Amino acid sequence: MRNIILLFVNKILAVVFLCSAFVKGSEFNSTTVTVSAYLDIFNLNFGSEEVLLTTVFFVCLELLIGVFLLFNFFNQYTKWVCLIICVFFLILTYDVASNNLLTDCGCFGSMWMIDPWTSFYKNIILVLLSILSIVFRTIKSERKHNGFIVFLLFLWIGLFCVRALLYPAMIDASFYRIGDDVSVVRYGAPIFEIDNLNNQNTPLNVIESSDIDYIDGEEIFIFFNRRMDIADIDFGIYRNAISNLNKDHSILFVTTYVSDEVAFIKSHKNLYVIDASLFNAIFPSEFGLLRLNNGVITGKMDLNMFSMKLVDLLCVDLTDILSIYTIDNQIVFWIISFLFLYFCFVLEEYKDGPLKVCNYMMNRFVKIQKQFIRKAM
């Protein structure tokens, strides 16, 4: 009975942590925004890179706890870390819920929005399960871990994080998606309205219709920058990106805020400003790339500091990026990930089997090598 309860509790915790990490990893940029919102609540002024690292840390931690609970690795430590994390989030969600600071806890990203009070009750259950898993812990439940499997799992977690950093959300949950016409009013959502900072006529064919600027004609790219002053980021990233762009495309720089100190940027005739809520309605990230054709979104990608720097470093043509980041590539990654976890599980469950296979293959290899040397002699 004791063992059954332990198995049941462990696996529930593992599933919760893995699901949470998978969802957060699949829309990593959106998670970064949530983490940033939590940091803002406590007046922690982290830069974009620090927020990014904090997000990576939490996603990795959830993956590690989930995987280790699933495979029964390092039970003694994993369960205590799990309890500490659950208690930490219990206090955090109580503070957020009681003071009505956020509308969504961000536990499972934007794919499954949970209000802070529900999240608080969920965390109470998780804390209770964590206590149960420690109370019912037996010496037998501690499994001798296979170093090779642990290495493989760490490797997979590393790849998972790189994928999360590079790829935009698997499912676009925003108000403005590829194929949408930005001029259509979405009831209750921010209107797609961009204002030229300098009130100058742009080389673009901007139609003024009922005071809303809609973009007409040729394809254009728009860079968005959210939450931070455009001066805080390396403007070289933008310059290099532009130099790699097809010259046939016109570019608009769009940001939510420009400070008075950045005169050289303010004088840019293609600089536009938008409302931060609109930015959120388009991109769940710090930066974004949008391609419009007659007001219809034909390409879209959200970026973070890491992917933006990589674009800068590799001097990738942004037209290529929009075609590379397809949903098919992401689905392939998830399938490979699950197959990999399954492979690790099989290796772990049938430890002797694969080792025998390896030994056999090694012996065969040595024999072939000897035969080859004899023939050569």
Partner 1 sequence: MRKLIVFILVGFVLSCQKKDNVDTQIEQKTVNEIDFTLTPKHFDIGVISKSNHDSIHDFSFDILNNTTDSVYLGKVDVSCGCVNVIYKSNVIPPGEHGIVSGNINISNQYGHLSKAIFVNYDVDGLIVLRIKGDVKD
- Which positions touch partner 1 (CB under 8 A)? 11, 14-15, 18-19, 22-23, 26, 70, 108, 110-113, 170-171, 173-175, 184-191, 193, 195, 210-211, 255-257, 259, 273-278, 334, 338, 341-342, 345, 349
User: What is the Cα gyration radius of the chain?
Assistant: 25
Closer to partner 1 by CB, 257 or 372: give it. Answer: 257
Reduce the DSSP state of residue 333 to 3 states and report it.
helix
Closer to partner 1 by CB, 177 or 367: give it. Answer: 177
Closer to partner 1 by CB, 211 or 248: give it. Answer: 211
H/E element holding 134?
Answer: helix 116-135
Distance CA 335, CA 327 (A): 13
Reduce the DSSP state of residue 182 to 3 states and report it.
coil
Task: Tell me the H-state helices in 27-146.
Answer: 28-41, 48-71, 75-98, 116-135
**Under a CB-based contact definition with an 8 Å cutoff, are residues 287 and 302 in contact?**
yes
Closer to partner 1 by CB, 116 or 311: give it. Answer: 116
Nearest-approach distance from CB 17 to partner 1, in angstroms = 11
Nearest-approach distance from CB 8 to partner 1, in angstroms = 11
Nearest-approach distance from CB 69 to partner 1, in angstroms = 11
In a 10 Å sphere around its CB, with 0-12 CB exposed, 13-18 middle and 19+ buried, how is residue 240 labelled?
Answer: middle
Distance CA 134, CA 170 (A): 36
Reduce the DSSP state of residue 190 to 3 states and report it.
coil
Distance CA 230, CA 163 (A): 26
Nearest-approach distance from CB 210 to partner 1, in angstroms = 6
Using CA atoms of 236, 238, 240, 241 in order, give the dihedral in degrees to the nearest 10.
Answer: 160
Closer to partner 1 by CB, 53 or 173: give it. Answer: 173
Nearest-approach distance from CB 291 to partner 1, in angstroms = 21
Nearest-approach distance from CB 274 to partner 1, in angstroms = 6
Closer to partner 1 by CB, 240 or 337: give it. Answer: 337
Nearest-approach distance from CB 168 to partner 1, in angstroms = 14
Closer to partner 1 by CB, 294 or 319: give it. Answer: 294
Closer to partner 1 by CB, 151 or 345: give it. Answer: 345
Nearest-approach distance from CB 19 to partner 1, in angstroms = 6
Distance CA 210, CA 182 (A): 14
Distance CA 318, CA 289 (A): 9
In a 10 Å sphere around its CB, with 0-12 CB exposed, 13-18 middle and 19+ buried, how is residue 176 labelled?
Answer: buried
